[in-house]
A and B are shown apart, each in its own frame.
Chain A
Amino acid sequence: MAGVGGAFAERSGVLNIAIEGMMLVGAFVAVLVSNYSGSATLAALAAIAAGGLMATLFAYLCVTRNLEQIVCGVALNLLAVGITNVLYRKILGPLPYIRVAGFDDIKIPFLSDIPVLGRLFFDYNVVTYILFILPVIATWIMFRTSWGLSVRAVGDEPEAVDTAGISVSRVRYTCVIVGGLCAGLAGAALSLTDMRSFVTGMIAGRGFIVIAAHFCGRWNPIRVVLFCLLFGLADALQLRLQSLYPSVPSEILSMAPYVLTVVFLAGFIGTVTAPRKMDIPYVRA
C-alpha cells in the first residue's frame, strides 16, 4: 500500500526515503486513536491524516525549499522514530498491554465459500481489500488521465511541464502528500490488523523494502504491488523457515529483496529507468 503511494510520489521526482517514518507515525497514531475512541475506522482516518501531515512537511522541505531530498528523508525518519518512541512511553506505556480495536475479517458472503480460492481471496479484512483495488485505481489514474500524465512528465522533464503552464510544485506536493496518506494507512494496517498494538520500531525497515519494490517495479503501481507482495512473501517465509527448517539459513530469504533490487538496478533483468529527474529539486530558472 505504501508502495502505491510512494510510486506516485517518486514518479513525480521526489525520492521519498521518509516512507518508513510515515508508516511508523501512521501505526502509532492509529493505535493511539483506536485506544481512546474504540473505533478502528476513526483510527485509520487519523493515521492517514498523520501520514499526510508528515508528507506535507516533507514536501515543503523538498519542493518549496529545494533541500536535499535524501537528507530530509533521513531526518524525518529519525524524527518519527524519536517522537513515536517518546510519546509511546509517555502515553501508552503506563497502560497495560492492550489490544486495540482493529479491523476484523470480513467474509464476502457467497464468494468466500468457494473451497480454496474463496478463503484465499475473500476472507480478509477491509484494509487488504483496499490493497487489491488501490493499485488498479492508481494505474488507471497514472496512465489514463491527464493528471497522471502531468505526474509522469514532472518526473522526467519538469521544464516542459512548467512551460506548458502546469505548476510543478503543485503536482509534486500532491503526489508526495498522496504518498504520505497511503503510507499512513499502511502503518495503520500494520498495527491494527494482526498485531492490534504498537511496538517501538515496528515498521522494521519495511519502508525501505517498499523503496526497493519501487525500483524493481519501475514505479508502475501494479508492478510495484506485485513486488511488494513478493517481498512480503519472502518476509513471511523466512519467519516460517526459522521454525520449520532451522538448518536452512533463513537470512537468504531476508536478503532476497535487496539482492533483487541491486540486480535490477545493475540492469541484468531489464533496465530500471527511474523518472529522470528523480531526486533533483526543480528550480525555476
Chain B
Amino acid sequence: MLSIFNLIMADRYRRFLVSCVAVAVALVVAGALIALLGYNPVTAYIMMAQGAFGSAYAFSVTAVRSAPLLIIGLGFLIGYRAGLFNVGGEGQLYVGATGATLVGLVPIHVPAIIHLPLALLASFVFGALWAAIPAYLRAYHKVNEIVTTLMFNYLGYHLVSYLINADNGPLFEEGAAFAQSPPIAKSAELPILLTGTSLHLGVLFAVVLAVGTYVAIGYTAWGFTLRMIGRSLKTARYAGVNYQRQIFGAILIGGGMGGLAGGCEILGLRHHLYQGLSPGYGYDAVAVVLLANGNALGTIVASIFFGALRSGGNLMQQTIGLDVSVVFIIQALIILFLLGGIALKFQPRKFQPPHRVHTPKVLKNHA
C-alpha cells in the first residue's frame, strides 16, 4: 500500500501531506489526552478556533502573534536550508528590540518616514551583531552553532534585564509600575492597519519578507549556494563556493531576522522594552519552520497556525478551564510526528532535509 502511495504522490506534495498528517495525528492524540483529563476535546478545539479566528479582533490577535514567529522562522530557515541550526531567535529578538528601542527613544524629533525604517534597520543590525560571534565561530572554527546561539539567547535575555533594571538600568522609565523602558516616539511606531485592534504593519511586513526570502532562496545565486551547502558540503567546495563566508552570512542574516522580529514587536505592539517580550517565539519558530519543511511560503501558513494555537488557547482556558499549556503538548506532538514521518520513510528517498553540516576535520588540511 505504501508503495502505491509513494508512487502517486510527487515529492513536494508528499512533503506537504506529511506535514498535514502530522498535524492531524497530533491533534487527535492531544484530543485523546484532553479527554483523559476530563474535558471535551471537540469543545476545546472549537473554543481554540474561535479564540483564534472568531472575530476580527481575534484574528488580529492571531496575526500579531504570528508575525514574530514568521520573521524569526525565516531567520532560522535561512540557516536551516544551509544545514545550520541557528536557534538564537530569542536572544536576537531581544537584542533587536533593544536596538529599535534605542532608535525609538532618540530625543530629537525625526519625521516618521525616516524614523521608522531607521528603527527597523537598527533592529536588524543589532540582531545580526548578536549572531555575529556564533556565526564567526561556526564558519571559521567549526564551533557548534546550536550551543553558541543557545548561550547567546540567555545572554540577550539578561542584557535586556540589565538595561531595564528598576534600580539602575540605563533604559529604565522613571516612575513606571514595573521594569520597562520609556515609550518610543510616536514617529517610530508601526501604523495600525485596522483601527481598534493591535494589527500593525509589521504583520504585512512579515509576509512580504517571507515572499522575498522564498524568491531569494529559490531563484538567486546566493540562495542556490545556500541550498547546495545544505545538501552537500563537498559539492559546494568542489564548485569553488566560499562556504565559510556563506555560513557566516547565513547565520548573520538569520540573526538580523530575529532582530527584525524584535523590532516589529516593539515598534508595532509593545512600544516599550521590557522583560517578557517573547513567550518563547524563538523556539516556536523552529517548530514552525520544521512544519513548513523549510519552505518560506509554507512558513507563513505554519506561523499562522502556531499563532492561532497560542491565541486560541487563551480563550479555551477562559471558557472551559483547560490549561493553555496543552498547546505546548500539541506543538511538541506535531514536531514529533513530523520527525516520525521522516523516520517512517514517508519522505521520498531522494529528498533529505538538510542535515547538520558537519565540516569534517579532513577538510581543514585541504583548505
**Number of B residues whose C-beta is below 8 Å from A?**
51
The answer to whether B323 and A75 touch across the interface, beta carbons within 8 angstroms, is no
B6 close to chain A: CB less than 8 A: no
In the assembly, what is the distance between CA of A5 and CA of B152, in Å? 25
- Kindly report which residue of chain A lies nearest to residue B344, judged by CB atoms: A65
Residues of B contacting A76 in the complex (Cβ-Cβ under 8 angstroms): 332, 336
**In the complex, what distance in Å separates the CA atom of A15 from the CA atom of B143?**
15
- Docked Cα-Cα span, A200 to B134, in Å, equals 31
The distance in angstroms between the C-alpha atoms of A279 and B145, with both chains bound, is 12
Q: Tell me which residues from 328 to 354 in chain B have a Cβ below 8 Å from any Cβ of chain A.
A: 328-333, 335-336, 339-340, 342-343, 353
- What residues on A are CB-neighbors of B358 within 8 Å? 280
The smallest beta-carbon distance between A183 and chain B, in angstroms, is 17
Task: List chain A residues, Cβ under 8 A from B283.
Answer: 74, 78
Chain B residues near A280: list those with CB within 8 A. 356, 358
Question: Quick check: A82 and B326 within 8 Å, CB to CB?
Answer: yes
Indicate with 1 or 0, residue by residue over A248-285, a CB within 8 angstroms of chain B CB atoms: 01011011001101100111000000100011100000
Do B158 and A255 touch across chains, with their CB atoms under 8 A apart? yes
| Given A65-B343, A74-B286, A251-B162, A90-B326 contact (CB < 8 Å) | no
B168 touches A246 (CB 8 A): yes
Chain A residues closer than 8 Å to B152, beta-carbon distance: 258, 262
- Given A71-B290, A75-B339, A86-B326, A261–B332 Cβ distance below 8 Å? no
For the complex formed, measure the closest distance between the CB of A54 and the CB atoms of chain B, giving whole angstroms.
12
Decide: A74 near B335, CB < 8 A? Known: A246-B168, A274-B144.
yes
Also in contact, A81 and B325, with CB within 8 A (given A71-B290, A75-B332): yes
Main secondary structure, interface of B, reads: helix
User: Is A68 interfacial (CB-CB < 8 Å)?
Assistant: yes
Chain B residues closer than 8 Å to A246, beta-carbon distance: 167-168
Report Cα–Cα, A123/B330, bound state, in Å: 44
Tell me if A72 and B154 are in contact (CB < 8 A): no
Contact with B along A34-75 (1 / 0, CB 8 A): 000000000000000000000000000100011110111011
Residues of B288-336 whose CB lies within 8 A of A? 290, 322-323, 325-333, 335-336
- Report yes or no: A79 in contact with B150, Cβ–Cβ below 8 A: no
A83 contacts the other chain (CB 8 A) = yes
Of chain A, the residue at the smallest CB distance from B321 is: A89
Known: A255-B155, A255-B158. A279 touches B356 (CB 8 A): yes
Using CB atoms, name the residue of chain B closest to A79: B332
Query: B325 contacts which chain A residues (CB < 8 A)?
Result: 81-82, 85-86, 89, 200
Could you list 19 further interchain pairs (A-B, Cβ under 8 angstroms) beyond the known A61-B336, A68-B353, A78-B328? A15-B146, A70-B87, A70-B146, A74-B87, A74-B283, A74-B287, A77-B332, A78-B287, A78-B332, A79-B336, A82-B327, A82-B331, A89-B323, A215-B147, A249-B168, A252-B162, A255-B154, A255-B159, A258-B152
Can you sample 6 A-B contacts with CB below 8 Å?
A61-B339, A65-B343, A71-B290, A89-B323, A90-B37, A265-B147
